[in-house]
């Protein structure tokens, strides 16, 4: 909802999927809601940004990363259903993944919703375990932030899903930020683009996510490195927690 109609709406992909509407965009590409050819199952189609598709060597790196995600087959990450290189007139690379029901952490935080500590630890431990398994397969997220975490409810066998694994080598942090993700740099190490693309970038991001979930009101929500203050003490942000977590 809220995205204008575009020329991709109604397009067929390899005769197996149909584009319904655009549901997102960032520095890495466009995201569409789609359906299977028979119209029974909803899917998500992620298309590499057309301007990135022309960068030498990037398409091959992108496809190699997505194949790793497909082969990972981990419950913390949506299943990759298809991979192709014929999206639109530009023949842009894309992949199709399962549609994930639920609300993102970004939506929950926008309501100033704070999680209790046991719930936060449960969710964080699931994310940490999933990322550990991904790291063991040579996959780094690099863009881990609230809009990439979807909650399906703690009663679900897989209550948390991590979206968009496989884009670490596609778009730099500043490019993603320029496309409207104001908080993107807040979840990156202080050295930003100079930081090595290794598991530490995801560990740092998870630490910030934990703070956000417990506080419910990120103090640095709209700031970037170089101008933001240190996170407020949790005993000040949420006095009911006491000083044990400061």
pLDDT at 218: 54
Report the predicted TM-score, pTM, of the whole model to 2 decimal places.
0.83
Would you give the DSSP letter of residue 136?
H
Given pLDDT bands bounded at 50, 70 and 90, which one contains residue 44? very high
Residue 93: which of 103, 102, 83 has the closest Cα? 83
Distance of CA 76 to the CA centre of its chain: 12
Which of 20-34, 89-103, 135-149 ranks highest by mean pLDDT? 135-149
pLDDT at 196: 74
Residue-wise pLDDT tens digits, 196-208: 788 999 999 999 9
Distances (CA, A) of 47 to 19, 68, 102, 150, 238: 11, 17, 22, 20, 41
Kindly write down the DSSP assignment for every residue of 54-81, as one continuous string.
Answer: TSTTHHHHHHHHHHHHHHH--TTSPPEE
The mean per-residue pLDDT over the stretch 55-79 comes to: 91
Cβ 173 vs Cβ 212: under 8 Å: no
pLDDT at 30: 87
Q: How many CA atoms lie within 13 A of 192 on its CB side?
A: 15
Cβ 130 vs Cβ 73: under 8 Å: no
Instruction: Give dist(CA 70, CA 80) in Å, integer.
Output: 5
Instruction: Give dist(CA 40, CA 42) in Å, integer.
Output: 7
Residue-wise pLDDT tens digits, 86-102: 766 667 889 999 999 99
Residue-wise pLDDT tens digits, 171-227: 655 445 444 444 677 788 877 666 678 899 999 999 999 988 888 765 444 444 444
Question: Lowest-pLDDT range, 43-57, 116-130, 137-151?
Answer: 43-57
Alpha helices in the chain (DSSP H): 50-53, 58-72, 105-110, 117-136, 173-178, 199-215, 234-237
Q: Is pLDDT above 60 for 15?
A: yes
Residue-wise pLDDT tens digits, 102-127: 999 988 888 877 888 898 999 999 99
**Residue predicted with more confidence, 118 or 235:** 118
């Amino acid at each position: 909802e809220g995205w204008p109609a575009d020329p991709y709406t109604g397009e067929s992909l390899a005769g197996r999927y149909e584009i319904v509407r655009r549901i997102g965009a960032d520095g890495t590409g466009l995201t569409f809601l789609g359906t299977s050819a028979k119209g029974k199952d909803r899917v998500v189609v992620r298309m590499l940004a057309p301007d990135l598709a022309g960068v030498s060597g990037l398409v091959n790196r992108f496809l190699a990363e997505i194949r790793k995600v497909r082969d990972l087959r981990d419950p913390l990450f949506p299943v990759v259903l298809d991979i192709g290189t014929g999206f639109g007139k530009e023949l842009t690379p894309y992949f199709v993944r399962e549609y994930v029901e639920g609300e993102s952490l970004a939506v929950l935080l926008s309501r100033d919703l704070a999680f209790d500590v046991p719930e936060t630890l449960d969710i964080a431990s699931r994310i940490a375990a999933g990322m550990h398994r991904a790291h063991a397969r040579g996959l780094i997220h690099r863009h881990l932030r609230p809009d990439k975490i979807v909650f399906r409810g703690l009663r679900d066998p897989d209550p948390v899903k991590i979206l968009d694994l496989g884009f670490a080598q596609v778009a730099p942090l500043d490019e993603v930020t320029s496309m409207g993700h104001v908080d993107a740099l807040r979840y990156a190490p202080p050295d930003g683009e100079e930081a090595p693309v290794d598991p530490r970038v995801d560990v740092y991001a998870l630490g910030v996510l934990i703070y956000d979930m417990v506080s419910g009101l990120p103090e640095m929500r709209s700031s970037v490195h170089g101008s933001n203050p240190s996170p407020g003490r949790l005993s000040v942000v949420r006095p009911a927690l006491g000083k044990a977590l400061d």
